[in-house]
Amino acid sequence: MTPHATVEERLTRALTRAAELAVPESSIDGELGRFHQEPGQAPDAPGNPTMRSPHRRARRVGVASLAASSVVIALVAVLVSLGSPNLVPRTQLTAAQAGRLACGPISCRALVPEKRAGSVADAAATTTSAPPHLTQNAVSAVPTALDRPTGLVVFADGERYQGSSRGHVLASTPGERARGVVYLRSGGATYRFETRGRVGELTVTSHKGSSVELRSASGARFALDLTTSQLEVK
């Protein structure tokens, strides 16, 4: 391109070059064959040149329909998943399930303080309570104190809070809109607990058995019973 090329010249060259690249010389070679029509061939027979476009349109419509169907199926799947084990309603959570959610596959009694790492029990806990980002099991255990800082994600009162299983809130971002609902996420699964009332920002402080202890920003302490979804002030 010369430095003195006018805009019109540049425009013509750009259009020509783009068209040449988009439609190479050889790209229409096979198309001519589609015009060959055998004598006596029905006008609407496959291969009739006049039918090409409708066929292609039909194919495009088919592809579009398929895509639309996929979207619908995906939406349905998402809706269905709200009631699936990936989001367990409180009424379906047995004491055993709640215990596993709160404490992992091993019981709280088996847990040992972090400073005793290295013991057999500690090793077992670490192995069985893998951090959420390392596990694909939808019903895996809530991370324990040993798994920090991977955490338990708590959603409550229309806000989303992320906290470790035994620590402070790490992040707070707008997300969920439902009030009075506490979500616990663990191992890729989200558990929904419909509590009554608004408690504000929550921090998971501890857990035992089938309950999780939470603390609000004001310092109030709550116990969330995972089997009943009752959020009790302690």
Partner 1 sequence: MSAPARLVTVGKVAINNRAAFEAAYREHATALTRLAWLLTGSKEKAEDIVHEVFVRYQSVDPPPVSEWSYLRRMVVNQVIDESRKAATEARYLPQPEVELDDPELDETWELVCALPQAQRQALILRYYADLPVAEIATAMSMPVGTVKSHIHRGLEKLKENVT
Residue 49, number of CB atoms within 10 A of its CB: 14
Q: CA-to-CA distance for 14 and 24, rounded, in angstroms?
A: 15
Query: What's the min distance (Å) between Cβ of 46 and partner 1?
Result: 15
Nearer to partner 1 by Cβ, of 66 and 117: the residue is 66
DSSP 142: P
Count of all residues that appear for the chain in the document: 234
Query: What's the min distance (Å) between Cβ of 19 and partner 1?
Result: 4
Considering only residues 77-136, where is the footprint of partner 1 by CB under 8 A?
none
Mind giving me the DSSP string for 36-67?
A: ---TT--TTSTT-GGGHHHHHHHHHHHHHHHH
Nearer to partner 1 by Cβ, of 24 and 174: the residue is 24
* Buried-state track 55-82, b at ≥16 Cβ within 10 A, e below 16: eeeeeeeeeeeeeeeeeeeeeeeeeeee
- Site for partner 1 (CB under 8 A): which residue of 4, 44, 46, 53? 53
Q: Check binding of 7 to partner 1 (CB under 8 A).
A: yes
Given the rule CB under 8 A, which of 18-26, 85-93, 155-163, 170-178 is the region that contacts partner 1?
18-26
Q: Check binding of 45 to partner 1 (CB under 8 A).
A: no
Strand partners, 222: 214, 233
* Burial of 148 per CB tally in 10 Å (0-12, 13-18, 19+): middle
- Residue 158: which of 136, 140, 142, 173 has the closest Cα? 173
Q: Check binding of 15 to partner 1 (CB under 8 A).
A: yes
Q: Check binding of 61 to partner 1 (CB under 8 A).
A: no
Nearer to partner 1 by Cβ, of 14 and 117: the residue is 14
**CB distance 140 to 106 below 8 Å:** no
Given the rule CB under 8 A, which of 3-11, 108-116, 189-197, 208-216 is the region that contacts partner 1?
3-11
Q: Check binding of 10 to partner 1 (CB under 8 A).
A: yes
Query: What's the min distance (Å) between Cβ of 120 and partner 1?
Result: 60
- Site for partner 1 (CB under 8 A): which residue of 4, 39, 44, 133? 39
Q: CA-to-CA distance for 177 and 165, rounded, in angstroms?
A: 23
State the residues that interact with partner 1 by CB under 8 A: 1, 5, 7-8, 10-23, 25, 27-28, 31-32, 34-37, 39, 43, 49-50, 52-53, 56-57, 60
